[in-house]
């Protein structure tokens, strides 16, 4: 019996389309049908681009018939986080203030996906302006976890992870500011990587915290994820923070194995509060990597206890500045007849922003205000330097660090909505990495007693995503996890 088309991985699908054995049109129709079947339960998408996707698929098929090679992602349906601009397709940031905003241009990462032959199948849900850990802060609907719809998909790229886990798309794009790719990847049992800061262009990506935000792919398996990162990475003159460094062959790294690699275990990431099932699965995976030829040693990241406070001060300060542009004048929502310019600003922002966004704007504005800047924002930047030096010291003696992605598996919908601190602590094992600008990857490594996926985190040196893929490929090869969708 032939394999259903929606279960094909990105590499397998693209290879068949390039050889003319499978049409991009059939692949796209299968993805759209799967999306229609799963959306009522999961809610991963904010916009499904059916007409645009079918037109793009027809063009791919025309090029194949003409003897052209459409690229390494030929005909592959991709979901794009709705904080990344797409020409002619609304891009909302999951916020009422941009609910009807339609960009006039593609972000660089979307341009590069299209150039590689990929097809944008839709825009996927996220926490509003990427602020959240559960995908419950979206103003346009909550995304549910395909492994248990009563639980969260993780945030802020919850739609990206749920779309892959439900087999609506083999790969998607997300963004990671404090763990927003790795946490939902772990909760939904898919692979996700946050690249080194500067590896991927942020041009056309709505800014949350400019010194932390990075775009990265999520995929059903490690090699698919590596393929997409290779397609979107590289220098972009339109982004001043984009690096001119050469992009390695990430897919080739997946098969290299871990023999001879030195892996560090940060002892602060195995502290009290770790769910026993999570610790068991992660330590079993570490033993499997040792059996495959890696050596393991304990390391310390002594300033880890300050990472949560540092992250929320830095990111909120940058958010308060970046979101000042949404004032009802330039684009998006405008509340009319408010009684003057200042009143219009206030009424528009009050009506357009959700509670979590307002909370972070107020926190960030306070931290930047006269008399408090040195005590809060300036101090946070000093601690950020100490956190970065911790990683540099630990990685001086290791090729990569390994740890859990989160202290627990996916929690229940609504469980932490009334407790912002408990929600913020969901990211306690991921948010130090963006402060240091390093690459980090989440790969599934098992299930807990409730049948929910557990994520294994690999943290690399700057610009060394290839080693992250080597370790993740070895995790997959060890058999602790087989890529699959929980839905029939």
Catalytic residues: 81, 156, 180
As a whole number of angstroms, the distance between CA 159 and CA 43 comes to 8
**Can you tell me whether residue 369 is helix, strand or coil?**
coil
- Name the phi and psi angles at 246, rounded to 5: -65, 150
SS3 state of residue 233: strand
Task: Name the 3-class secondary structure at 396.
Answer: helix
Between CA 295 and CA 278 the distance in angstroms is 21
H helical segments located in 431-488: 432-436, 465-477
By the 8 A CB rule, do 89 and 124 touch? no
Helix ranges (H only) for 301-378 are 307-322, 341-352, 355-368
> Are the CB atoms for 78 and 218 separated by under 8 Å?
no
CA dist., res. 234 & res. 231, Å (int): 8
Q: In what order do the strands lie in the sheet with 262-266?
A: 45-48, 119-124, 77-81, 171-176, 214-219, 191-194, 440-447, 453-460, 400-404, 262-266, 295-299
Q: Report the distance separating Cα 351 and Cα 38, nearest Å.
A: 31
* Alpha carbons 152 and 413: distance in angstroms, whole number: 5
Q: Which residues pair with 295 in a beta bridge?
A: 262
């Amino acid at each position: 019996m032939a394999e259903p088309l929606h279960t094909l991985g990105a590499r397998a699908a693209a290879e068949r389309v390039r050889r003319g054995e499978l049409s991009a049109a059939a692949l796209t129709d299968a993805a759209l049908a799967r999306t229609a079947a799963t959306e009522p339960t999961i809610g991963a998408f904010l916009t499904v681009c059916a007409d645009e996707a079918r037109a793009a698929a027809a063009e791919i098929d025309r090029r194949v018939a003409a003897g052209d090679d459409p690229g390494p992602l030929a005909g592959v349906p991709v979901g794009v986080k709705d904080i990344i601009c797409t020409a002619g397709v609304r891009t909302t940031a999951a916020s009422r203030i941009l609910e009807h905003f339609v960009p006039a241009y593609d972000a660089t990462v979307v341009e590069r996906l299209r150039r590689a032959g990929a097809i944008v199948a839709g825009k996927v849900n996220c926490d509003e302006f990427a602020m959240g850990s559960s995908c419950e802060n979206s103003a346009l609907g909550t995304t549910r976890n395909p492994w248990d719809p009563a639980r969260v998909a993780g945030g802020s790229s919850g739609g990206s992870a749920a779309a892959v886990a439900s087999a609506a798309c083999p790969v998607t794009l997300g963004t990671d500011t404090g763990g927003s790719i790795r946490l939902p990847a772990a909760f939904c049992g898919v692979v996700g990587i946050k690249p080194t800061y500067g590896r991927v262009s942020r041009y056309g990506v709505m800014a949350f915290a400019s010194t932390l935000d990075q775009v990265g792919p999520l995929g059903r398996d490690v090699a698919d994820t590596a393929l997409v990162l290779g397609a979107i990475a590289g220098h972009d003159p339109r982004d001043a923070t984009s690096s001119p460094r050469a992009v390695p062959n990430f897919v080739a790294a997946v098969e290299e194995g871990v023999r001879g690699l030195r892996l560090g275990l940060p002892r602060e990431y195995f502290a009290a509060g770790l769910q026993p099932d999570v610790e068991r699965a992660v330590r079993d995976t570490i033993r499997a990597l040792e059996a495959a030829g890696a050596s393991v040693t304990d390391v310390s990241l002594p300033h880890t206890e300050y990472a949560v406070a540092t992250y929320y001060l830095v990111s909120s300060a940058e958010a308060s500045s970046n979101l000042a542009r949404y004032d009802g004048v330039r684009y998006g929502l405008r509340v009319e007849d408010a009684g003057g310019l200042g009143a219009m600003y206030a009424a528009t922002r009050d009506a357009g922003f959700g509670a979590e966004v307002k909370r972070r704007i107020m926190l960030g504005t306070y931290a930047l205000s006269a008399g408090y800047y040195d005590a809060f924002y300036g101090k946070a930047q000093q601690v950020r330097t100490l956190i970065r030096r911790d990683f540099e010291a630990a990685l001086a003696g290791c090729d990569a660090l390994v740890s859990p992605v989160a202290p627990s598996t996916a929690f229940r919908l609504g469980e932490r909505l009334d407790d912002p601190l408990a929600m913020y602590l969901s990211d306690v094992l991921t948010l130090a990495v963006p402060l240091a600008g390093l690459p980090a990857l989440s790969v599934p490594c098992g299930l807990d007693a409730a049948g929910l996926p557990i994520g294994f985190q690999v943290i690399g040196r700057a610009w060394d995503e290839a080693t992250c893929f080597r370790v993740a490929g070895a995790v997959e090869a060890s058999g602790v996890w087989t890529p699959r969708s929980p839905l029939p």
